[in-house]
Amino acid sequence: MLIIAILVAWKMRVLLLHAERFSYTPTKKAVSQADEEAGPHSVENALVVFTTVEDGDDEEIVRKASQDIAEHAAKVKADIIVVYPYAHLSSNLAPLSEARQVLSELAKSLENLGLKVHKAPFGWYKAFDIKVHGHPLAELSRSYSATERMPPLMETTRDFEQKLYNDYLQRFGLTLGGKATRMSDKWRSALEDVAMELRTCDGETATVFTKDITAEKIDYCTEYLLEGVAQPIRAFFIERGIPTTLDKLKSVIGEEGLVVNEKHVWLQGKQFKFLVGLSLSGDKTLAFMNTILAGMIAMNIEKMQSSQYIPMLPIKYSVVQAYIAINNPVSSEYASLVASKVGKKLKRVVVDDSDSKLAEKLRRAGMLWAPYVIVVGKREEESRAVSIRRRADGTTKVVPVDELEEQLY
């Protein structure tokens, strides 16, 4: 059995300011889960810790953060530490109840280290005034990560693994290298279409798995697909996580074989299991577009083994959407005309004008699960038409070339 896993990291973000003096005044309750009302407060020679709690922050992160903050307080010789809730250092915020608890645990952890600590009230708008020292350590930003091993991205039986890799993924331009698994540039827009379908683009962030297996969050609305993949492990089809909803994920995959629990979303059959997403707070899901595509291919393979099933991906995610088989002799002008009309409706098109026999070209189209196979021969050119074969229903019909675009959807 093949098992491939990766690590994912969560972060707490802080801004450390060594203040000659610092004061604040709560002005108005901002959230229903706010701390009890408190009055103004002022301190001198304080290390003010503006703290943003991210979704997933836990005890390990609190421990790392408190130790580092304590060490920094000793370096700058601060008399007191102020833990100040500050939700402006990240867009991946923890739920209110969790953020409130983590901030309290951070303050308590610092007190347990023998430090004098004051925690500003959570959930209030506050006016504050600060005078920061001018030495080199007076202004620092920090992020604290706790690394968690995710479950395997994929599990397969040995026989199914060989069939999946050797017989199918390579023909779709999906190759398994020594350090990473990538999709060839030729068919990369299939992944882009999966990503575009999943993303909600509401200002959230996506998780990028970097070379040292840590996670960085960036704005996925402006840059949702990256070249880099997790290394040096054999990270199976992981490039980006797309923040989305479970309903959107179901619209891409369908509900067959989809298993959802509190933390993970799986696509599984009898011989394989793919991790296609992580369950986040609420209805949010971090979806892995690469395992989604590979999982849909695996689902088709398994169905094919047990019945006379014709494998096929949804056309918007098919790595080859149309296969144009040129049955020579056909003029280059007519072949180009047909290709241009198909290209206006579909992104991923193969034009096979090789010297191979038509039967061989049709076999190649079938191996790529092309939803449309368009045959252009001498007879079609003379009648200004094409022959369209639809994989979904197995039908074939001849249509005028001027009506070709209307037949593709």
pLDDT at 259: 92
Q: For residue range 80-101, what is the model confidence (pLDDT) as tens digits? A: 999 999 999 988 788 899 999 9
Nearest to 325 by CA among 360, 292, 276: 360
Residue 289 token pair = 């577009």
Nearest to 76 by CA among 16, 25, 150, 166: 16
- Are 162 and 142 found together in one domain? no
- Are 174 and 131 found together in one domain? no
- Whether 49 is in a domain gets the answer yes
- Are 128 and 175 found together in one domain? no
pLDDT at 217: 42
Q: Picking from 28-32, 48-52, 123-127, 281-285, which range would have the lowest pLDDT averaged per residue?
A: 281-285
- Are 219 and 333 found together in one domain? no
pLDDT category of residue 59 using cuts at 50, 70 and 90? confident
Q: For residue range 253-262, what is the model confidence (pLDDT) as tens digits? A: 999 999 998 7
pLDDT category of residue 212 using cuts at 50, 70 and 90? very low
* 109-132: average pLDDT: 96
- Across 106-120, 133-147, 199-213, 223-237, which has the greatest mean pLDDT? 106-120
**How many whole angstroms separate alpha carbon 299 and alpha carbon 155?**
13
Domain end position, chosen among 148, 183, 201: 148
- Are 159 and 134 found together in one domain? no
Q: Picking from 6-20, 133-147, 233-247, 301-315, which range would have the lowest pLDDT averaged per residue?
A: 233-247
- Are 267 and 126 found together in one domain? no
**Number of domain units in the chain:** 3
Domain end position, chosen among 277, 306, 335: 306
pLDDT at 277: 83
Q: 77 to each of 38, 43, 72, 83, 376, how far by Cα in Å?
A: 28, 14, 8, 17, 81
pLDDT at 91: 80
pLDDT at 101: 94
pLDDT at 10: 52
pLDDT category of residue 186 using cuts at 50, 70 and 90? low
Q: 314 to each of 66, 150, 192, how far by Cα in Å?
A: 50, 29, 14
Q: For residue range 304-352, what is the model confidence (pLDDT) as tens digits? A: 988 889 999 999 889 899 999 999 999 999 999 999 999 999 999 999 9
- Whether 314 is in a domain gets the answer no
**How many whole angstroms separate alpha carbon 289 and alpha carbon 188?**
12
pLDDT at 340: 96
Q: For residue range 276-285, what is the model confidence (pLDDT) as tens digits? A: 888 766 677 8
CATH of the domain at 27: 3.50.80.10
The pTM for the full model equals 0.60
- Are 25 and 166 found together in one domain? no
**How many whole angstroms separate alpha carbon 331 and alpha carbon 333?**
5
pLDDT > 70? residue 183:
no
* Cβ proximity of 291 and 276 under 8 Å: yes
- Residue range(s) defining the domain that contains residue 124: 9-148
